[in-house]
Chain A
Amino acid sequence: MNRRALFYSFLVISVSVFAYFAFSKVSDTIVTEILINSSKENVYAFLSNLENIPKISLPAKSVFITKDVVDDENVRHVNVIIVENLKFVGNLNLTSYFIFDEENYTIRSYSHILNGFLEITNLWKITNEGNKVKFKEIYQVASPKILISFVKREAKELHQHMVRYSSSLGDEKPQFPGSRSEYTYKLQFLMPDQYEGIPVYRVMTRKGEVLDSADDPNLDKETTQKMYKDMTLLNTMDRILYESQRQGRISFYMTNYGEEGTHIGSAAALDPKDLVFGQYREAGVLMHRGYTLDEFMNQCLGNVDDANKARQMPVHYGSDKLRFVTISSPLATQIPQAAGAAYAFKRAQNNLVVMCYFGEGAASEGDAHSAFNFAATLNCPVIFFCRNNGYAISTPTSDQYRGDGIAARGPGYGIPTLRVDGNDVWAVYNAVREARNLAISQNRPCLIEAMTYRIGHHSTSDDSQAYRSVDEVHFWHSEDHPIQRLRWYMERKNWWNDETEKEWMQSSRKQVLEALSRAEKKKKPSPSQMFTDVYAEVPPHLKKQFEEVKKHIGNYSKEYPLDKFEKF
């Protein structure tokens, strides 16, 4: 084989290098890797003399040369990566070369992937038909146009590039403030579809089988059963409160159906003292922390024992004792607040994190952007936990964003990021546990995007059949449900069976109904509570307004249902 006949083309992807490598494992598929310390002359010589490569007795067609980083001593390292199979996991490089073996008419390229993967995305069979070169895809193609543009380039251009490349190895590097990249001489936009989506980390299959036992957090029977009971009790409470709204017993409700795994998996991985800022669909987190059914019911009923003194709609829970900041209706406002609270934690050196939940819809708000940027630049130990459940009321993700979900934004802010299967309670647990370690040990934020599905309507004011099909919902309910998955896991361990399920479902239903009944018997708070807590003390003007209201109601007491309220 005439090595000189090798045509080189090159791939220049001017991507920002994302500092965080979610994965440090090196794939088994790497055959070997040579690292050379090199001057620019050596690199040039190396590139010009690829005949060296067969000395390690591998086919040239599978050789990649990639430019790597400059180390602390200002020595430039060049990685030569020889790939037999199709994946390499490891260092991320700025500029990468691409080799074309004309004799075998095959060509391989690869692209950068956000989380540290280098993956071959294209393998092409090339044939000559007349004067035209035909391309046949053998392996998955991320962006054929980009690849074709490579192949059309000739050795002449490679040579030009090598000259430029070797000169760029010299003294000139971009000196712009905040820049950490290299110069490129290639005018090429970074296209969003140039790399694959960020993968979804999971531990269990949809049938509850743990794929790699090393990933099983191996929580004991009691802990696992508590998690399962929390998930199912939440589900039962949702059904009863949803129905009670339909019967006019409470004014409003929001169910958590389908997202139980994200709630309980994340809550279990936190320290109970970690401060939680929620959005509104995280009742399971509170439940796991020990919020009682009576407390849930009192809030939803807005009775005299509601901690919020009946000032907010149902599901706006909060507990200072359980370190769960009271929910507010405005969307995404809690996200920058979580960053600020985390900053206070960092200064207090209390080894705690702040956990912040929000949906993929809320992530479109300006507050979310500010929060990510503040947390990253001010080094705040906060976990941003996005519940991507597919819908923001009726708005599907396709109307919400055009990029690779919420996780893809993390590296742009300089935030370590992980996408996780939200219906896999162990994957969520592992993800949050690792995020917590990272946030505390490095004093920096983490972003977790938990992929899940909102099986219920947005709220009792919504009918989701107007914008999605019953079949779609049915799929998630029957094929990919976090509760069922954990149940299968437990059944495999003989920790749960039909009988325990039946007993638990009966007793939990009874507990919820009893709590609801107790809460319904209580009166509403005194109307005087309208004027307290506006300020730490009631100021004179509010005292005056209160007296006016009191006088008015005294004069027109028959017009008001005063028997339902505590006295003034």
Chain B
Amino acid sequence: MNLFESITSALDCALKRDPSACVFGEDVGFGGVFRCTVGLQEKYGADRVFNTPLSEQGIAGFAIGLAVAGATPIAEMQFADYIFPAFDQIVNEAAKFRYRSGNLFDCGKLTIRAPCGAVGHGALYHSQSPEAYFAHTPGLKVVIPRGPFNAKGLLTACINDPNPCIFFEPKILYRSAIEEVPVGDYSLPLSQAEVLVEGSDITLVGWGTQVHVLREVVKLAQEKLKVNCELIDLRTILPWDEETIAKSVAKTGRLLIAHEAPLTGGFGAEIAASIQVSLITRAYY
């Protein structure tokens, strides 16, 4: 399966598993502009897989309402670049619903999917990686997969998680990444980074498309510089797995973080700062 097919498969499993689950967004009915929802409307009906009017704040608000009423909404933002009209609904509403009501109400069943990142021809407004904005919001979970197997497992985990989740899908990987993906239902743990390559000299941390870039870096560094890298895919941006990275850096003594988003105020800064504190305080070892 490639990544968009693994997303479809995760949505298919969710719709099968949970009769209250609904998949919706702009152009979702006919299969979506990235083909992630192909065949689902035919299979589950137009009341469960449907188009919405073009309004991201409407999609987010509508999805929160579904979740509050006990259903399982899986909403699509057509591009992460266009998620900002929904920022208020996501940051002020979804993230705070449980907290502000003292746990009387929550929208934990909410999952929002959005294609993110650069492809090459998307230019200014079809290339952004806005994960850091949402990582600054307590109450949200933010997840970015690096490939089809992780995409299905992590998306399933987001759908099942009792907290509102934002799932960014690096769109360059939709067709380029192909892996063996189980057809059946499975999930992978959230907030757990994965060590992909073990090494001793430096820790490299990335997520999404950058994991593939860093894999090449690992090879290059070994070949050209004789540097032995440890590579970690963060997978969940919030709440992130500080422990795995801190332990790795305690071993290697060096840390390099690569992300596609702007450097200033990016999530790399949070990791760098936190890891320094945790090493000084010896929080994890």
Contacts and interface: CB of A to CB of B under 8 A. Distances in A.
A320 B104 contact: yes
Contact of A318 (B105, B191, B242): B105
B69 A333 contact: no
B66 interface: yes
Contacts of B243: 540
A344 B100 contact: no
Interface of B: 20, 22, 47-48, 50, 52-53, 55, 57-58, 60-71, 73, 85, 88-89, 92-93, 96, 98-106, 108, 138-139, 141, 162-163, 191, 239-240, 242-243, 283
Contact of A333 (B89, B101, B103): B89
14 contacts: A307-B102, A325-B101, A326-B101, A336-B61, A342-B69, A344-B20, A347-B48, A366-B55, A366-B85, A371-B62, A534-B99, A535-B139, A540-B242, A541-B240
A567 to B, nearest CB: 18
A347 B45 CA distance: 12
Contacts of A319: 104
A512 B139 CA distance: 36
Contact of A339 (B62, B105, B240): B62
A345 B89 CA distance: 21
Contacts of A354: 65, 69
Contact of B53 (A311, A374, A536): A374
Contact of A541 (B47, B98, B239): B239
B163 A367 contact: no
Contact of B57 (A338, A366, A540): A366
A378 B66 CA distance: 13
- Indicate the member of A311, A340, A354, A542 with the most B CB atoms within 10 Å: A340
Contacts of B22: 343, 347
B47 A344 contact: no
B72 to A, nearest CB: 10
A526 interface: no
Q: How large is the interface on A (under 10, 10 to 19, 20 to 34, 35 or more residues)?
A: 35 or more
Contacts of A174: none
Given A326-B105, A340-B65, A539 B239 contact: yes
Contact of A341 (B68, B88, B138, B191): B68
Contacts of B65: 277, 336-344, 354
Nearest to A343: B66
Contacts of B20: 344, 347-348
A341 B61 CA distance: 10
A104 B66 CA distance: 63
Given A344-B70, A373-B53, A534-B99, A328 B92 contact: yes
A336 B100 contact: no
B99 A340 contact: no
Contacts of A378: 50, 52, 62
Interface string A312-337: 10001011100001101010010111
Given A330-B92, A335-B61, A344-B65, A536 B106 contact: yes
A533 interface: yes
A337 B97 CA distance: 12
Contacts of A328: 92-93, 96, 100
Interface string A532-568: 1111100111101000000000000000000000000
A140 interface: no
Interface of A: 275, 277, 306-309, 311-312, 316, 318-320, 325-326, 328, 330, 333, 335-345, 347-348, 354, 366-367, 369-371, 373-374, 377-378, 532-536, 539-542, 544
A335 B64 CA distance: 11
Nearest to B48: A347
Given A306-B102, A341-B66, A541-B242, 11 more contacts: A307-B102, A328-B96, A330-B93, A339-B61, A340-B65, A343-B22, A348-B71, A366-B85, A367-B58, A367-B88, A534-B99
A318 B68 CA distance: 13
- Indicate the member of B22, B65, B73, B105 with the most A CB atoms within 10 Å: B65
Interchain residue pairs A-B with the least CB separation, the first 8? A340-B65, A336-B61, A370-B58, A326-B101, A337-B65, A344-B69, A340-B62, A341-B69
A534 B138 contact: yes
B125 to A, nearest CB: 19
Contacts of A333: 61, 88-89, 92-93
A339 B57 CA distance: 13
B92 A374 contact: no
B223 to A, nearest CB: 37
- Indicate the member of A308, A319, A367, A377 with the most B CB atoms within 10 Å: A367
A338 B69 CA distance: 9
- Indicate the member of B48, B141, B163 with the most A CB atoms within 10 Å: B163
Contacts of B55: 366, 369-370, 373-374
A296 to B, nearest CB: 15
A34 B73 CA distance: 53
Contact of A344 (B60, B61, B71, B191): B71
A533 to B, nearest CB: 5
B138 A542 contact: yes
A539 B241 CA distance: 10
Contacts of B63: 340
A553 to B, nearest CB: 19
Contacts of B102: 306-309, 311, 326, 533
B186 to A, nearest CB: 21
B285 to A, nearest CB: 15
Contacts of A377: 52-53
B42 to A, nearest CB: 18
Nearest to A342: B65
A536 B71 contact: no
A540 B283 CA distance: 12
A275 B66 CA distance: 12
A340 B61 contact: yes
Nearest to A320: B104
A367 B71 CA distance: 21
A539 B69 contact: no
Nearest to B66: A340
A369 B54 CA distance: 11
Nearest to B56: A370
Contact of A374 (B58, B99, B242): B58
A335 B73 CA distance: 17
Given A330-B93, A370-B55, A373-B58, A533 B239 contact: no
A533 B66 CA distance: 20
Contacts of A534: 98-99, 138-139
